[in-house]
Amino acid sequence: MKKIALHWQILLGMVLGVLVGLIMTQFQGGNEIVRDWIKPLGTIFINSLKLIAVPLILASLIKGVSDLKDISKLSKMGGRTIGIYIMTTVIAVSIGLLLVNMIKPGASISENTRQELVQNYSEDADKYKEEAIKQKESGPLQALVEIVPENIFGAASQNKNMLQVIFFAIFFGVGLILIPEKKSKPVKKFFDGFNEVILKMIDLIMLAAPYGVFALLAALVVESPSIDLFNALIWYAFTVILGLSLILAFYTAMVWIITKKTPSFFFKGISPAQLLAFSTSSSAATLPVTMERVTEHLGVDEEVSSFVLPIGATINMDGTSLYQAVAAVFIAQAFGMELSLSVQLGIIVTATLASIGSAAVPGAGMVMLVIVLAQAGIPEAGLALIFAIDRPLDMCRTTINVTGDAVVSMIVAKSLGKLQDPKVKDWDDHYPKE
């Protein structure tokens, strides 16, 4: 019997998870059974992916930077990567603002529904507001200060400090380039071997992916709020999903036009990472799989993928940026506010910068949304309006975030002559060095 492909196994696990969750909600004590006996399996799966996120970034980035052997290549690749990431983020925010102003989903929110949502989720909203206030009061350059860690071991102990780990890895890799090859060779060999070990650990963890997403989706279903709350926010969800769909179409066009790869080729290669991103709502947790799919199945050279993807998982949040724009205007509409053009242009700038500082973990976008709301003068209590439906939309926007990372890696690889046929194993035989 032919073995079922990984992405179909993951999809089957997702469907079964939803079905089991729905069935268990019909029985007394079913919710508790899912929370106590099924959800922990999903948590273990997520923890195992988070476990290797920091080692993967350290190993892959240090290896990727040191493999360049020329500091000019680093600046060239880095400039193109950051430039494309910022461009796609601005486009995503603009799409979100355009749609939310056309559809006006906030106009359908009644006073009774708004009060009910605020009452149910005010405690969570207050938590996110407190965290955002700390970031806001820290000063305009605090984001730059926090990129440079005072202790790399402390930074590596928490996945939310991914930018600090990336800074250290790039700095370390540059140091390897600048010292004599005789001295750097043993260090480089260590990280080459370290990288291979981490990749093998990814293979082992992915064997459990279908079971992990099954547990995650079953738990999500039994913990979802009342269906009445979802119905009240249907137009908001429609606006976000439509915007994400337009971004996906934009990505597909970029791949087709710039890299000359067909949409079927692209989606076949990246679909397992997309499905995992959908079920985990974490770009960081999905990063190991994204790197494997982009390198082995989309033909991006490891020198490019090991540099572009870890940075993208931290600063390229197109789906999150679009969601922040739609959510901000939606909340304003729900409160009967009219936002001027200048305020909405400010949302574009703030959402773009907020996406750069947003951690690649579930719920991080909610913290950054508070900053966007504060900049636009929108009542922050309106956060409670979107809590009921945030998690399913978080799953969708994380899928877009991961897809965008893959697209940019292909474009950067194409521009550098590093995009190959994924079936080709010996790079130098087909692309001789200049």
Listed residue (44, 45, 23) closest to 34, CA to CA: 23
**CA 337, CA 354: separation in Å to the nearest integer?**
23
**3-state secondary structure at position 340:** coil
**CA 120, CA 281: separation in Å to the nearest integer?**
23
- Look at 129-133, 215-219, 249-253 and tell me which has the smallest mean pLDDT: 129-133
Query: What is the per-residue pLDDT for 426?
Result: 43
| Those residues with Cβ within 8 angstroms of residue 262's Cβ, 6 or more apart along the chain or in another chain | 256
Average pLDDT value for residue range 215-226: 74
Q: Does pLDDT of 323 surpass 60?
A: yes
- The better pLDDT of the pair 136, 158 is held by 158
Backbone phi, psi, residue 7, to 5°: -65, -30
Q: Where are the domains of the chain?
A: 6-422
**3-state secondary structure at position 434:** coil
Query: What is the per-residue pLDDT for 424?
Result: 46
- The better pLDDT of the pair 338, 237 is held by 237
The full DSSP string for 126-164 is HHHHHHHHHHHTT-TTHHHHHHS-S-HHHHHT-GGGHHH
Query: What is the per-residue pLDDT for 241?
Result: 93
Query: What is the per-residue pLDDT for 310?
Result: 83
Query: What is the per-residue pLDDT for 122?
Result: 55
**CA 336, CA 339: separation in Å to the nearest integer?**
10
Q: How many CB atoms lie within 10 A of CB 397?
A: 29
Q: Which two tokens stand for residue 397?
A: 């926007």
**CA 120, CA 126: separation in Å to the nearest integer?**
12
Question: Can you list the alpha helix ranges (DSSP code H) found in 335-381?
Answer: 341-357, 364-376
**3-state secondary structure at position 419:** strand
Query: What is the per-residue pLDDT for 232?
Result: 57
Query: What is the per-residue pLDDT for 252?
Result: 94
**CA 380, CA 292: separation in Å to the nearest integer?**
40
| Those residues with Cβ within 8 angstroms of residue 169's Cβ, 6 or more apart along the chain or in another chain | 57, 58, 61, 62, 65, 310
Kindly tell me the burial class for residue 142, based on how many C-beta atoms sit within 10 Å of its own C-beta (0-12, 13-18, 19 or more).
middle
Per-residue b/e over 316-336, b at no fewer than 16 CB within 10 Å? bbbbbbbbbbbbbbbbbbbee
Q: Does pLDDT of 1 surpass 50?
A: no
Average pLDDT value for residue range 309-319: 81
Backbone phi, psi, residue 300, to 5°: -80, 130
Backbone phi, psi, residue 26, to 5°: -85, -10
Band of pLDDT at residue 425, cut at 50, 70 and 90: very low
The full DSSP string for 284-316 is HHHHHHHHHHHHHHS-B-HHHHHHHHHHHHHH-
**CA 64, CA 286: separation in Å to the nearest integer?**
19
- What's at 196, amino acid-wise? E
Residue 180's region, left for phi above 0, alpha for psi from -120 to 50, else beta, is beta
Q: How much is the pTM?
A: 0.67
**CA 128, CA 126: separation in Å to the nearest integer?**
6
Q: Quick: pLDDT tens for 33-77.
A: 998 999 899 888 878 877 877 887 788 778 777 776 666 666 778
Q: Does pLDDT of 126 surpass 90?
A: no
Query: What is the per-residue pLDDT for 20?
Result: 92
Give whole-number Cα distances, 402 to 179, 289, 337, in Å: 35, 10, 33
DSSP 8-state symbol, 417:
T
Q: Count Cα atoms within 13 angstroms, Cβ side, for 337.
A: 18
Query: What is the per-residue pLDDT for 75?
Result: 72
- Look at 35-44, 130-139, 282-291, 367-376 and tell me which has the smallest mean pLDDT: 130-139
Query: What is the per-residue pLDDT for 342?
Result: 75
Give whole-number Cα distances, 296 to 277, 281, 407, in Å: 18, 23, 15
Fold of 6-422: Proton glutamate symport protein (1.10.3860)
Please say whether the beta carbons of 412 and 77 come within 8 A: yes
Q: Quick: pLDDT tens for 182-205.
A: 898 899 899 889 888 887 887 788
